[in-house]
């Protein structure tokens, strides 16, 4: 009798785990429903630092394209990881989605003590071209110009670094 109770208990755990996996997978699929796949869209502009930026069609190394917003609490929690990756890796570009004027975004970055390359997207035009509806979103572009990974929501620094490494092998 003890074995049958134990088996029922484990069966219950397995069903609960399966339901959680199905719900998380469904949410991720819904969040990524309009996001681009395949070849990365064109991305160019002037960074807040006044430097021209153009995403290469075939980058030498994987590129992290990260969408964020100053009003997003999850983005705020993740910004240290993005800053650390950008400090070690020149192949990082971020897009401040609907966060105000360039001066407002620059002031936010100073207040937060963060520095990474930023293209401002005050009207969401860039985000729409990439199919981004919510932030944060990270795209990893492989050297062949294809989007290899898309991550919606909080992602750890080690997770992003691992995906960038995998995109380059």
Let me know if residue 146 belongs to a domain.
yes
Q: Are residues 3 and 67 in the same domain?
A: no
pLDDT for the residue 95: 98
pLDDT for the residue 25: 67
Tens digit of each residue's pLDDT, the chain (169 residues): 678 888 888 988 888 888 888 877 666 666 666 778 899 999 999 999 999 999 999 999 999 999 999 999 999 999 999 999 999 999 999 999 999 999 999 999 999 999 999 999 999 999 999 999 889 999 999 999 999 999 999 999 999 999 999 999 8
Task: Write out the residue range of the structural domain in which residue 51 sits.
Answer: 44-168
Q: Are residues 132 and 83 in the same domain?
A: yes
The CA distance from 57 to 167, in Å, is 15
pLDDT for the residue 89: 93
Is pTM beyond 0.85? Reply is no
Q: Are residues 137 and 79 in the same domain?
A: yes
Structurally, the chain folds into a number of domains equal to: 2
Q: Are residues 119 and 163 in the same domain?
A: yes
| Domain containing residue 144: CATH number | 3.40.30.10
Q: Are residues 158 and 132 in the same domain?
A: yes
pLDDT for the residue 30: 63
């Amino acid at each position: 009798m003890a074995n049958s109770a134990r088996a029922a208990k484990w069966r219950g755990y397995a069903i609960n785990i399966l339901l959680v996996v199905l719900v998380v997978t469904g949410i991720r699929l819904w969040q990524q429903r309009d996001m681009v796949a395949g070849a990365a869209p064109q991305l160019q502009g002037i960074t807040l630092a006044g430097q021209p930026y153009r995403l290469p069609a075939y980058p030498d190394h994987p590129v992290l394209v990260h969408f964020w917003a100053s009003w997003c609490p999850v983005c705020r929690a993740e910004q240290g990881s993005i800053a650390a990756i950008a400090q070690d890796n020149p192949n990082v570009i971020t897009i401040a989605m609907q966060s105000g004027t360039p001066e407002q975004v620059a002031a936010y970055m100073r207040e937060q003590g963060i520095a990474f390359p930023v293209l401002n997207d005050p009207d969401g035009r860039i985000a729409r071209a990439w199919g981004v509806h919510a932030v944060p979103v990270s795209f990893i572009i492989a050297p062949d110009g294809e989007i290899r990974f898309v991550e919606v929501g909080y992602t750890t620094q080690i997770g992003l670094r691992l995906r960038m490494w995998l995109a380059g092998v």
